[in-house]
Amino acid sequence: MSASPAPTELACDIFCAVVDNFGDIGVCWRLARQLRAEHGWRVRLLVDDLTVFHALCPQIDVSLDRQEAAGVLIEHWREPHHAGDALEIADVVIEAFACEIPHAYIAAMARRTRKLAWINLEYLSGEDWVADFHMRPSPHPRYPQEKSFFFPGLGAGTGGVIRERDLDARHARFDANAWWRERVGINKPDRATTIVSLFAYENPAVDALLAQWRDADVPVVLLTPQGRVSGALARFFGVASFGAGASARAGALEAHSLGFVEQPRFDELLWAADLNFVRGEDSFVRAQWAAKPFVWHIYPQVDDAHVPKLDAALAHYTNGLDAAARDAMTGFWHAWNGAGAIDWAGFWRHRAAFEARAAQWSDELARIGDLAGNLVAHANARLAA
């Protein structure tokens, strides 16, 4: 007997536990919106921290347990509330980044008569082993349920990364001059100036980098969203604070602080700069699609477990660069992540090579397919099996 076709409008529950600031919810929110807008799924996002979510999406009311935004149903996830028998179990259940969905919900999944697809969405990695484990099934030890592991990645045989269908069109329509006047209040600097966006965790290397920009031969204009690095900028410029709207100048460095950039407009910040410093996973992906040179501040892990992940990303991103440019980028990324000394001049002298590689890499990454589309295909295959 042939399997019944999958419903045309699947219901999907995404469980998200906010662990790393905006990274976890940032990825889940992008994915939820894309599954709804591009694939027609009925998506519910269950998230345990609405306060952090509100910063990314000001439409979110932190006082509400249940609400809707961008066509996605949002629920404040509190175990065991919103779990188990009280819910209609979805066709596709996604537990993001190894969060533990409530036992009552899993038990209800096992009682469901119609087949479902249970997917563990993993963290992004460029490491080679990811392709070997991508989409592997794992049976539940107690219930007749099987979940599969879905790995975002930077190479063939992985789930790829999030990329909306209209991204290129939005980029083509972007008016950098208008953006600068609206968001910064000044005209866009000319090509003789290097424009840098800085979105970073606290970082011991930032003082040395600011000093090198101050003493640089080529002017640097710095754009930094208000956040965890703002205190370092305040100390460097000798001011009490460096919040949204603040500006300061020292030598060749001119810095402007922006208000927190809401997620749908974060791409514009990356498009407006010549070089982007990003952190975590969500902004790391957006920097690659911006097709501009970037520097990644990876989330640090115990016993330097993050270093192989950093090096794997570098291996993909620097492939094709000549030895000098590759070594300069590798050394700079490592220094920004706490291993080595920052050398701005040695890094940025390869600007032309970095710009060419950034555009080339964006095209290479697109060939893997986007995460949402790949996940939809996987879920449909699971439901039809």
Catalytic residue of the set 24, 48, 267, 282: 24
* 88 is known as an active-site residue: no
DSSP state of 161: B
* Closest listed residue to residue 121, CA positions, set 39, 29, 53: 29
Dihedral sign of CA atoms 30, 32, 37, 38 in order: positive
The residues that bridge with 173 in the sheet, in sequence order, are: none
> 3-state DSSP call for residue 229?
coil
Torsion sign, CA atoms 320, 324, 329, 334: positive
Helix (H) or strand (E) holding 365: helix 351-366
Rg (the chain; Cα; Å): 22
- How many CA atoms within 13 Å lie on the side-chain side of 220? 25
Q: Annotated catalytic, 24? A: yes
The rounded distance, in Å, linking the Cα atoms of 234 and 243 is 9
Q: Among 91, 122, 267, 281, which one carries the catalytic annotation?
A: 281
Please give the Cα distance from 93 to 116 (Å, whole number). 8
Nearest to 31 by CA among 101, 92, 79, 106: 92
Instruction: Give every strand in the sheet of 253-258, ordered side by side.
Output: 247-250, 253-258, 220-225, 194-198, 275-279, 294-297
Partners of 275 in beta bridges: 196
Which amino acids are annotated catalytic? 24, 281
